[in-house]
A and B are shown apart, each in its own frame.
Chain A
Amino acid sequence: MIKKKQRLRINEPSTGFKIFNFFILLIITLTMLIPLWNVTVYSFTTDLESYEHTLKLWPKQFSFAGYKTLFESVKIWLPFINNVYITVIGTILHVMVNALAGFVLTRKRFPGKGFIVLIFLIPMMIPGESIIIPRYLVMKQLGLINSLWSVIVNNIANTFAIFLMRNYFMSIPISLEESAKIDGASLFTLFKKIYLPLSTAGLATISLIEMVGKWNTLFSAVLYINIPERYTLQQALKVLIVNTESPFTSGLSIPNNAQAAGVIVALVPILLFYPYIQKYFIKGIYLGSIKE
């Protein structure tokens, strides 16, 4: 097994630099946190106050009205479960397929390599808009319309992820592979026992990206799913704001605090989950194991 060691701090940066660093990051952090805080505050305002269009740092009057409206207008449980379903399955499939594909690209010169590289690279150059309708047709032919699998299947192989994984695999010293091959390891064993474990940062990265993407699925859900029981979370929430923008459709007016509450409700699970995955790209995976 490969041991993980703490990264040694050899020399400390100067205090001046530390302060400078702190300030820059503070400014950037603030520009991110203030909008988030603003939305959170709005989700706890009264209906009337939420109609104000200013930057708020605290509600004039604290209220749960937004959340009340949200949970009354939108039956959130089912979309939430649908979201978990598509995110978990989608991400697992995504990681498996792209890790394997990325690994293939690390193999030196084999017949058909150029062809495979092209096949993997070209999809990224194709603008999505032109294939929306043909892809709808494919989904229809596969019988996936109204099935959550249409959404799951939507981004399983992805050029970006494949090349990213390839990169992370390439940073693993070749000596490990060579010594394993001497011990008679097959390709699959190489992948499973050496490359996969050592590239957790890469796996974590593409998992995170895909997880967030799947969790926030809206467009493909609206396109492929017509049954309310199968709505994704964002789709169900969109019902809240569906009519407030068009000047022609009068009637439905959902106050801003409910919309803000919707944003927060969709965001919270990701924010809670994120720290768990974060440690994979903060902690260093020590490669000193070569000596062992």
Chain B
Amino acid sequence: MSRNQKTSTVFFIILCLLFIILTFPLMATGEKEKAKEEEPTLVWVHHYLGGLNPEGDKVWIDALYKKTGIRIKIIKPTESEYQTKVASMLATGEQIDLLYVDPDQFATLTKDNPDLFEPLDERIKKSPILSDTKKFPKSAWDTIRQEDGHIYGTQPAVGLAAGGTLPIVRWDWVEKLGFASKFEGNKKPTLDDYYELLKAFAYNDPDGNGKKDTYGIALGYTTYEMNPFFGAYGMLRDYAKDKDGKIYSPVTQDAAKPIWEYFQRLYREKILEPNFVTNKSATFRELFMTGKVGMICYWDNWVPRLNDIVKSKNPNSSFRARAIYPPVGPEGKQLLRHGGGSYTAILRNSKYKDLAFKLLEFFSTDEGAMLGTAGVEGYDYNIVNGKIVFTEIGKKIGQNHGMKPAWNWKIPWEISPEWREAMQILAEVPGDIQRYYGRNGDQWEEIVGIDAAKIIRGEVSVEEGLKSMRKRLKDMGLVDY
């Protein structure tokens, strides 16, 4: 190399090194983040706590700090990396104080690690807020009591924290097709009524464009959410325990034949949207919103959101989503699935268990309920003339900041009549939560789905399909019969 080239190379190398060294503190500082004094910071791992983005999170965390004096750090791993992230953190001794668990996860984590979480029974008894039996009766606590008899969270499956799934229909289509009288106020519609309605959705051209491009009902993940229909036979998905203590899955038993035949028929007659195996929730929600399908079975709190989303983008649309009473079976049974059973638990080896409990307690107060649902005043909503008005950001997040009230809290902002109706239906119709008995719900869906897909598509007879379902579950040791 010539002298010139040599100098320029050396110069270039020095420049690079300088760049790396200078940006190192900016980009590279590891664990030693600016130590925030002696103030303890609790680490809360949750799916969807806080705001819509890091900025929203910060606003929410600051608001929480102002109200409780406790500072937290939220870690929201993405869905697919959740398990790995939690596992890595726990296995390498990273600080986690609060962890959001659903029943599946709780069972999975505590199977080999029974001492992972802190039982909260004593603390609840001593807490003035949580021991209020009017607000939290014993039946409420029983909804989250674990197999070992203890309670590990402060949010029973009651109130907004629970909700439930029910049939949601395009009411504007219902009216257009002449079914309004049949379904308006009808608390016990029959399966035949439903069949007629769904058939009309598919064949009577409800969107009026002259083409047969609509379906009656859409499902997703193969069997989701068939619960309102299983409820007509008094069953729900997942597991149940019989009087001898044996575990079985009701919808795989022969008693469930009629319902499977019902769906087989819906598919055969092109009333059931055919992509039910590959559809996700977002898919069937969107099919519903874009007028491709007349009914979906989904969560009550989506009824107002579906209306809001469509109306905000297309104010002139006739779209109106409403919940209706679920079908009644031939024996007069009617059952809806309630949610809940997921909550935030405290890690036993957390250094700040008392503070963590104080936080959880806070969310069982009215103020906490506001923060956990509506969000932060001035950011998510404003109070105008004594009424709560949501900002653009507040509307986007849909009044769910991660901690919904787990008692029958009176919602202080105006809620749509459609939602009020849906909640009314949930309150009136008998309901129950899906049970897992320490088993995994996703796994149930996968295993049962194999034969469910075949049955519904008519590739096997219902008897064969159900027999195969039971065998698969039994081979995996998940059921007794």
Chain B residue numbers with a CB within 8 Å of A133 are: 84, 87-88, 91-92
Task: Enumerate the 4 nearest inter-chain pairs by beta-carbon distance, A residue then B residue, closest first.
Answer: A251-B400, A228-B54, A51-B286, A48-B313
Q: Mark B315-346, 1 if CB is under 8 A from A, else 0.
A: 00000000000000000000000010010000
Chain A residue numbers with a CB within 8 Å of B299 are: 250
CB pair A242–B48 under 8 Å, yes or no, is yes
Known contacts A243-B48, A245-B281, A251-B400; A238/B78 CB under 8 A: yes
With both beta carbons as reference points, the residue of chain B lying nearest to A140 in the complex is identified as B92
Q: Mark B274-295, 1 if CB is under 8 A from A, else 0.
A: 0000001111011101100000
CB pair B79–A242 under 8 Å, yes or no, is yes
Q: Which of B286, B310, B400 has the most CB of A within 10 A?
A: B286
Asked if A146 CB lies within 8 Å of chain B CBs, one says yes
Asked if B20 CB lies within 8 Å of chain A CBs, one says yes
A152: shortest Cβ distance to chain B, in Å? Answer: 9
Asked if B52 CB lies within 8 Å of chain A CBs, one says yes
With both beta carbons as reference points, the residue of chain A lying nearest to B74 in the complex is identified as A226
- Give the total of A residues in contact with B, Cβ under 8 Å: 51
A sample of 14 more A-B contacts (CB under 8 A), given A132-B84, A133-B87, A149-B30, is A47-B313, A48-B310, A133-B92, A136-B88, A140-B31, A147-B28, A222-B81, A223-B85, A239-B54, A245-B282, A247-B225, A250-B299, A251-B48, A253-B285
Asked if B33 CB lies within 8 Å of chain A CBs, one says yes
Q: Mark B71-88, 1 if CB is under 8 A from A, else 0.
A: 001011111010011011
Asked if B305 CB lies within 8 Å of chain A CBs, one says yes
A34: shortest Cβ distance to chain B, in Å? Answer: 20
List residues 203-252 of chain A with CB under 8 A from any CB of chain B.
Answer: 218-219, 222-223, 226-228, 230-231, 235, 238-239, 242-252
Known contacts A245-B280, A250-B398; A53/B305 CB under 8 A: no
Q: Which residues of B contact A (CB under 8 A)?
A: 20, 23, 27-33, 47-48, 52-55, 57, 73, 75-79, 81, 84-85, 87-88, 91-92, 94, 102, 163, 220-221, 224-225, 280-283, 285-287, 289-290, 299, 301-302, 305, 309-310, 313-314, 339, 342, 396-400
Chain B residue numbers with a CB within 8 Å of A52 are: 286, 290
Chain B residue numbers with a CB within 8 Å of A132 are: 84, 88
Which listed residue, B47, B52, B85, touches A246 by the CB 8 Å rule?
Answer: B47
Q: Mark A145-188, 1 if CB is under 8 A from B, else 0.
A: 11111100000000000000000000000000000000000000
With both beta carbons as reference points, the residue of chain A lying nearest to B78 in the complex is identified as A238
Known contacts A226-B75, A252-B397; A146/B92 CB under 8 A: no
Query: What are 13 pairs between A and B in contact, CB < 8 Å?
Result: A51-B286, A53-B286, A53-B287, A73-B52, A136-B88, A136-B91, A149-B27, A239-B52, A244-B281, A247-B225, A250-B301, A251-B397, A252-B400
